[in-house]
């Protein structure tokens, strides 16, 4: 099969993703199988744990599902149930590895049904579900997600904790057969010993001790086997921007970079990239928790955007990732929705200041003008320069200060943050600094440096704000001072437009405070103000509004409304507001391809405004 994109010659498509290019396919089979695995898993676990379950009204249903009577059968039922629960999500996402595991597990379960329970119906049910999987094997072609061997440690911790909790349930599920009154510590010790294959301090009447022992041993073995599997399977690292990818993107930005103010942020080196068949357009992305996040508009020629978008969607379908776009422009949103059938939702507005129209004169700029004059009278001076015009020693000092003034352990920013300062390849970036000599200057590792603003190029005549950092001991107003200095020096740098911060839900905040706003709008505005205690929503809007910008709407593009919570969580993870990674001592550190100094956007609520907030 071949497809034609960008008006170029047909492009061959691999067979395992061939069906995805034809468009969305019905999701009934993967969803049905995944849901069935979840239900069967839960019933199996219940059948293995609770003795009364096998003699309840659900006995008839349990008879045709994997599980059995007796110690070994209880352990087998428990193991099968846990494994099916682990596989259910992967089957719903069409994962090939989950399909292979289920195809191996179901015949083994059918054999156990016939050998230990002599249940013909249960055997036929297992084989029928296996045949259904084989019949629709083409539906399960999704490739693996990015992963590393640190997944084994996460599996050991999470599955071990779950097995420990389930083990406590098993130990306490036979109250009438327990000898004596063992304490909670004894029961916990019995669980730990049982998972390791040893007999614990809790004693039972009859064969119950064998049932509990087999079940606990099965949980321990399951934890060990899955951890070993994750530890020794091949790694599948996340996509990274290679030197060749970066060179191609810079060439596209040199021709078409003036179209989108977020274009230069595509050069973050922790992103992957897909190019159109002609190479005239590209979409940069990162995969977070199964969500394939693109940011801003595609890079390059607008006529080639559909080809890059199609490649992006092919990649998402091939891995069964949820596609999403954060912060695209109105034009970008129209192209995305037209080419993919996705939906768009207004996310907020970007503040853009036209340099020719900016002035401190007038009543509207009175507060900014007074603040800037006050700061200047205190002895602060500003410098606005290209990175290429700053010496390496001073750049190192600026990087050090920006890192120390970050105010949070986690790096913040993804869609509107470059993630580095002073890289030799970013010589066109602009750094605005504030300086003041005082009694601490001689002892400070930053010298007289008090605040830093970093801008990235926006085409040949614009720049976009990347980050804002200041010394916490500096006087208030550093951000306003440096923004004004950058705007006033823009003509010297041949800059005609400056993109400032992104204000989420700005229109709701603006309309909600006006006379005549309805109760729904006022309630929504009140909720946004409440959330502003933790996220810079209202503060960024008011800060941007000081400079009288024009507002450019930005959108999030998504597949379905049910995906929005998942996309929101993935976006907050990518931006650094939510951290679900392992603690620092266990966090994986990828070796850098070459030394790359890194800067970070500030944490919310610390009076440090940045685009990524």
pLDDT of residue 58: 46
Q: Comparing C-alpha atoms, which of 73, 165, 56, 149 is closest to residue 111? A: 73
- What is the enclosing helix (H) or strand (E) of 282? strand 281-288
Beta strands in 484-583 (DSSP E): 497-504, 550-558
Asked if 358 and 323 sit in the same domain, the reply is no
Residue 528 domain-assigned (yes or no): no
Instruction: Tell me the pairing of strands 272-275 and 281-288.
Output: antiparallel
* 177 close to 206: Cβ distance less than 8 angstroms: yes
Task: State residue 305's pLDDT score.
Answer: 93
Asked if the structure places residue 586 within a domain, the reply is no
Domain span including residue 443 = 354-499
Dihedral (C-alpha) 220, 225, 231, 234: value to the nearest 10 degrees? -160
For residues 338 and 370, membership in a common domain is answered with no
| Full-model pTM | 0.68
Boundary (domain end) residue, out of 459, 484, 499: 499
Is 278 among the domain residues?
yes
Helix segments in 513-553, DSSP class H: 519-531, 538-545
DSSP-derived letter for residue 114 is I
For residue 113, the model assigns a pLDDT of 57
Residue 77 · residue 112 · CB < 8 Å = no
Cα distance between the two ends of the chain: 44
Tell me: do 376 and 493 sit in the same domain: yes
Residue 3 resides in a domain: no
Please check whether residues 330 and 410 belong to one and the same domain: no
Compute the distance between CA of residue 569 and CA of residue 289 in angstroms, rounded to an integer. Answer: 9
In angstroms, rounded to a whole number, what is the distance separating the alpha carbons of residues 85 and 43? 10
Does 459 share its domain with 555?
no
pLDDT of residue 490: 93
Tell me the backbone φ, ψ of residue 265, rounded to 5 degrees.
Answer: -70, -15
Q: What is the CATH number of the domain that holds 327?
A: 3.40.630.30
Instruction: Compute the radius of gyration of the chain from its Cα atoms.
Output: 30
Same domain for 218 and 273, yes or no, is no
Name the one residue in this structure whose structure tokens are 């993703």: 17
Three-state secondary structure of 421-490: CCCHHHCCCEEEEEECCCCCCCCCCCCCEEEEEEEEECCCCEEEEEEEEECCCCCCCHHHHHHHHHHHHC
Task: Give 147's strand partners.
Answer: 236
Query: 498 and 463 in contact (C-beta within 8 Å)?
Result: yes
Mean pLDDT per 10-residue interval, the chain, length 613 residues: 39 38 51 72 67 51 48 67 77 78 74 58 73 79 67 76 82 78 84 81 77 78 76 64 89 91 89 91 88 90 92 87 90 91 89 92 89 91 92 90 74 73 89 86 82 92 90 87 93 93 80 73 79 75 88 91 88 71 44 36 37 45
Query: How far, in Å, CA of 192 to CA of 97, rounded?
Result: 31
**Domain assignment of residue 507, yes or no:** no
Same domain (yes/no): 154, 140? no
Q: How many domains does the chain have?
A: 4
Instruction: Among 458, 480, 499, give the residue marking a domain's end.
Output: 499
């Amino acid at each position: 099969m071949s497809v034609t994109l960008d008006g170029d010659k047909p492009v061959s498509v691999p067979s395992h993703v061939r069906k995805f290019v034809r468009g969305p396919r019905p999701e009934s089979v993967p969803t049905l199988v995944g849901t069935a695995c979840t239900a069967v898993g839960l019933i199996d676990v219940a059948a293995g744990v609770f003795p009364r379950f096998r003699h309840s009204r659900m006995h008839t249903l349990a008879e045709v599902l994997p599980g059995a009577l007796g110690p070994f059968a209880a352990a087998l039922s428990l193991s099968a149930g846990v494994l099916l629960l682990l596989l259910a999500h992967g089957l719903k996402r069409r994962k090939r590895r989950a399909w292979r595991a289920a195809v191996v597990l179901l015949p083994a379960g059918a054999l156990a049904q016939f050998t230990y329970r002599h249940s013909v119906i249960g055997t036929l049910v297992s084989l029928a579900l296996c045949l259904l999987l084989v019949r629709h094997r083409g539906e399960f072609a999704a490739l693996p997600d990015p992963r590393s061997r640190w997944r084994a440690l996460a599996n050991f911790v999470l599955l071990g904790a779950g097995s420990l909790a389930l083990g406590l349930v098993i130990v306490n599920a036979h109250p009438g057969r327990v000898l004596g009154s063992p304490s909670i510590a004894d029961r916990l010790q019995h669980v730990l010993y049982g998972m390791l294959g040893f007999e614990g301090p809790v004693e039972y009447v009859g064969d119950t001790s064998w049932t509990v022992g087999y079940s606990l041993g099965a949980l321990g073995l399951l934890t060990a086997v899955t951890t070993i599997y994750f530890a020794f399977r091949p790694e599948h690292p996340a996509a990274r921007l290679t030197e060749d990818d970066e060179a191609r993107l810079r060439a596209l930005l040199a021709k078409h970079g003036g179209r989108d103010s977020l274009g230069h942020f595509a050069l973050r080196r922790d992103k992957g990239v897909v190019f159109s068949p002609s190479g005239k357009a590209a979409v940069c992305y990162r995969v977070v928790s199964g969500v394939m996040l693109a940011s801003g508009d595609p890079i390059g020629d607008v006529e080639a955007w559909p080809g890059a978008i199609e490649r992006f969607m092919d990649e998402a379908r091939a891995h069964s990732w949820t596609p999403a776009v954060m912060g695209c422009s109105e034009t970008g949103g129209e192209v995305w929705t037209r080419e993919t059938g996705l939906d768009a939702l207004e996310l907020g507005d970007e503040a853009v200041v036209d340099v020719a129209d900016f002035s401190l004169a007038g009543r509207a700029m009175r507060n900014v003008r007074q603040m800037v004059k006050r700061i200047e009278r205190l002895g602060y001076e500003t410098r606005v320069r290209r990175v290429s015009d700053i010496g390496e020693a001073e750049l190192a000092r600026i990087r050090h200060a920006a890192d120390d003034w970050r105010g949070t352990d986690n790096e913040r920013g993804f869609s509107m943050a470059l993630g580095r300062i002073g890289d030799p390849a970013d010589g066109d970036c602009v750094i605005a600094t504030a300086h003041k000599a005082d009694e601490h200057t001689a002892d400070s590792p930053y010298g007289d440096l008090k605040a830093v603003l970093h801008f990235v190029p926006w085409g040949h005549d614009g720049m976009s704000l990347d980050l804002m950092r200041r010394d916490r001991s500096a006087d208030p107003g550093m951000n306003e001072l440096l923004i004004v200095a950058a705007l006033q020096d823009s003509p010297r740098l041949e800059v005609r437009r400056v993109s400032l911060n992104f204000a989420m839900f700005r229109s709701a905040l603006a309309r909600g405070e006006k006379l005549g706003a309805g109760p729904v709008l006022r309630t929504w505005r009140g909720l946004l103000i409440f959330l502003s205690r933790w996220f810079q929503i209202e503060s960024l809007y008011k800060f941007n509004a000081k400079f009288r910008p024009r507002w450019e709407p930005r959108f999030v593009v998504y597949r379905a409304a049910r995906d929005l919570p998942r996309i929101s969580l993935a976006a907050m993870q990518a931006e650094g507001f939510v951290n679900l990674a392992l603690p620092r001592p266990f966090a994986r550190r990828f070796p850098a391809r070459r030394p790359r100094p890194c800067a970070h956007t500030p944490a919310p609520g610390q009076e440090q405004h940045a685009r990524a907030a």
